[in-house]
Structure 1
Amino acid sequence: MDTIAKNVCGLINEEGGDLLLGISGDGEIVGINEAKAKVDELSNYLNQHVQPNAPISVSSVRYKKHDLIWISVWEGAQKPYSFQGKIYARGQEDTNKANKEDVSGFILQRKASEFHWERQSLLGLEEDDLSIRQVEDSILLFERKNPHLRFSNDTIGFLQYMGLYQNGHFTNAAAILYADNPVRYLPQAKIRLTVYAHEKSSNSFLYDRLYESNLFQNIQDVFSYIDVLFGRSSHISGLKRTDRQKYPIVAVREGIMNALVHRDYTKVSSTVHISIYSNRMVISNTGTLPEGLRIPDLKREHTSILRNPDIARMCFVHDLIEMLGSGTQRMVKDCKAYGLADPIWKEDGDHLVLEFPGLGIGEGVGDGVNEGVSDVVVPSASEGVNDILKRLVTLIHATPGMNAKQLAVAIGKGHSTVERYLKLLRENMLIEFRGAPKDGGYFLLQNK
Structure 2
Amino acid sequence: MNSEQLIKSLLKQEEGDQLEFKLVVQKDSIGKIICAFLNHEGGQVLIGVSDDKKIVGISDAEKWEKELTDYLNSAIIPEAPVMVSLEQVGNKQVILVKVWAGSKQPYIFDGNIYFRRRQSTVKATSQEISNLIHNRQKNEFHWERQPALGVELEDLDLQEIQKTVDRSINESKLDENNRNPIDFLTHFGLFQNGHFTNAAVVLFAKNPALFIPQARVRVAFLEKGKTAGEFVDDKLLDGNLFKNILSAQDFFEKHLHTTRKFSEKEWERQDDYVVPMSALREGVMNALVHRDYSLPSASMSVIIYSDKIEVFNSGKSPLKAAELKKSHLSLPVNPDIAHMAFLRGYIEKIGRGTIKIMDACKTAGLKPPKWTTTETSVKLSFPLNIKLGGATDGGLVGAGDDNINIRIDGAIDGAIDGATTRTIRQLTILLAAIIKDEGKRIPDYKNITDLGSVRTLERYIEQLKDIGFIEFKGSAAQTGGYFITDKLKKIIK
Which TM class, normalised by the smaller chain length? 0.7 to 0.9
Alignment of 1:149-188 (within 5 A): 149-151=175-177, 153-188=179-214
Residue 197 of structure 1 and its aligned partner are, at CA, apart by: 2.2
CA distance in 1, matches of 2:66, 2:276: 35
SS of alignment partner, residue 176 of structure 2 = coil
Q: Measured at CA, do residues 205 and 135 of structure 1 come closer, stay the same or move farther in structure 2, by a change above 3 Å?
A: same
Residue 40 of structure 1 and its aligned partner are, at CA, apart by: 4.8
Instruction: Find the partner of 1:117 among 138, 143, 146.
Output: 143
Residue 224 of structure 1 and its aligned partner are, at CA, apart by: 1.9
Residue 362 of structure 1 and its aligned partner are, at CA, apart by: 2.5
Q: Measured at CA, do residues 185 and 148 of structure 1 come closer, stay the same or move farther in structure 2, by a change above 3 Å?
A: closer
CA distance in 2, matches of 1:342, 1:159: 39
- 4+ aligned runs moved over 6 Å, structure 1: 236-239
Deviations 1:63-90 (A, max 9, x none): 2444444434343333222223322112
Instruction: Find the partner of 1:354 among 371, 380, 389.
Output: 380
CA distance in 2, matches of 1:118, 1:148: 21
CA distance in 1, matches of 2:190, 2:285: 20
- Answer with 1 or 2: which has the greater Rg: 2
CA distance in 2, matches of 1:179, 1:348: 30
Instruction: Indicate the residue corresponding to 1:143 in structure 2.
Output: 169
Residue 2 of structure 1 and its aligned partner are, at CA, apart by: 1.9
Q: Measured at CA, do residues 60 and 233 of structure 1 come closer, stay the same or move farther in structure 2, by a change above 3 Å?
A: same
Cα RMSD over matched residues? Answer: 2.9
Task: Judge conservation of contact 1:18–1:324 (CA < 8 Å) in 2.
Answer: no
Query: Does residue 1:23 correspond to 2:49, yes or no?
Result: yes
Deviations 1:36-82 (A, max 9, x none): 3334543444344433x221435452524444444343433332222
Q: Measured at CA, do residues 205 and 29 of structure 1 come closer, stay the same or move farther in structure 2, by a change above 3 Å?
A: same
Moved more, 348-357 or 228-237: 228-237
Query: Does residue 1:278 correspond to 2:306, yes or no?
Result: yes
SS of alignment partner, residue 247 of structure 1 = coil
Task: Judge conservation of contact 2:390–2:399 (CA < 8 Å) in 1.
Answer: no
CA distance in 2, matches of 1:168, 1:161: 13
SS of alignment partner, residue 282 of structure 1 = strand
Residue 134 of structure 1 and its aligned partner are, at CA, apart by: 0.8
Give the total of aligned pairs: 374
Deviations 1:292-349 (A, max 9, x none): x222212222223310111111111222224442332332232233332222222356
Deviations 1:342-395 (A, max 9, x none): 22222356221222223675374489xxxxxxxxxxxxxxxxxxxxxxxxxxxx
Instruction: Indicate the residue corresponding to 1:63 in structure 2.
Output: 88
Residue 158 of structure 1 and its aligned partner are, at CA, apart by: 1.3
CA distance in 1, matches of 2:85, 2:367: 34
Alignment of 1:26-37 (within 5 A): 26-37=52-63
Residue 35 of structure 1 and its aligned partner are, at CA, apart by: 3.3
Task: Judge conservation of contact 1:129–1:179 (CA < 8 Å) in 2.
Answer: yes
Instruction: Find the partner of 1:199 among 225, 232, 255.
Output: 225
SS of alignment partner, residue 352 of structure 1 = strand
Task: Judge conservation of contact 2:222–2:230 (CA < 8 Å) in 1.
Answer: yes
Alignment of 1:378-397 (within 5 A): none
Residue 115 of structure 1 and its aligned partner are, at CA, apart by: 0.5
Task: Judge conservation of contact 1:89–1:98 (CA < 8 Å) in 2.
Answer: yes
Deviations 1:6-46 (A, max 9, x none): 10111111233443433333333333333333345434443
Instruction: Indicate the residue corresponding to 2:259 in structure 1.
Output: 233
Residue 241 of structure 1 and its aligned partner are, at CA, apart by: 4.3
Task: Judge conservation of contact 1:12–1:54 (CA < 8 Å) in 2.
Answer: no
SS of alignment partner, residue 45 of structure 2 = strand
Query: Does residue 1:267 correspond to 2:295, yes or no?
Result: yes
Instruction: Indicate the residue corresponding to 1:416 in structure 2.
Output: none
- Give 5+ residue unaligned stretches, structure 2: 1-26, 404-491
Instruction: Find the partner of 2:274 among 246, 249, 270.
Output: 246
Q: Measured at CA, do residues 62 and 344 of structure 1 come closer, stay the same or move farther in structure 2, by a change above 3 Å?
A: closer
CA distance in 1, matches of 2:102, 2:375: 31
CA distance in 1, matches of 2:43, 2:343: 16
Q: In the alignment, residue 220 of structure 1 is paired with which amino acid?
A: L
Task: Judge conservation of contact 2:214–2:299 (CA < 8 Å) in 1.
Answer: yes
Task: Judge conservation of contact 2:222–2:303 (CA < 8 Å) in 1.
Answer: yes
Identity of aligned residues (%): 37
Q: Measured at CA, do residues 152 and 110 of structure 1 come closer, stay the same or move farther in structure 2, by a change above 3 Å?
A: closer
Task: Judge conservation of contact 2:100–2:330 (CA < 8 Å) in 1.
Answer: no
Task: Judge conservation of contact 1:194–1:275 (CA < 8 Å) in 2.
Answer: yes
Q: In the alignment, residue 355 of structure 2 is paired with which amino acid?
A: Q
- Give 5+ residue unaligned stretches, structure 1: 368-396, 403-446
Q: Measured at CA, do residues 42 and 327 of structure 1 come closer, stay the same or move farther in structure 2, by a change above 3 Å?
A: closer
Residue 285 of structure 1 and its aligned partner are, at CA, apart by: 0.6
Instruction: Indicate the residue corresponding to 2:129 in structure 1.
Output: 103
Instruction: Find the partner of 1:77 among 89, 97, 103.
Output: 103
SS of alignment partner, residue 398 of structure 1 = coil
CA distance in 2, matches of 1:201, 1:349: 26
CA distance in 1, matches of 2:350, 2:103: 20
CA distance in 2, matches of 1:27, 1:254: 32
Residue 157 of structure 1 and its aligned partner are, at CA, apart by: 1.3
CA distance in 1, matches of 2:228, 2:190: 40
Instruction: Indicate the residue corresponding to 2:248 in structure 1.
Output: 222
Instruction: Indicate the residue corresponding to 2:455 in structure 1.
Output: none
Task: Judge conservation of contact 1:277–1:360 (CA < 8 Å) in 2.
Answer: no
CA distance in 2, matches of 1:188, 1:97: 43
Q: In the alignment, residue 55 of structure 1 is paired with which amino acid?
A: A
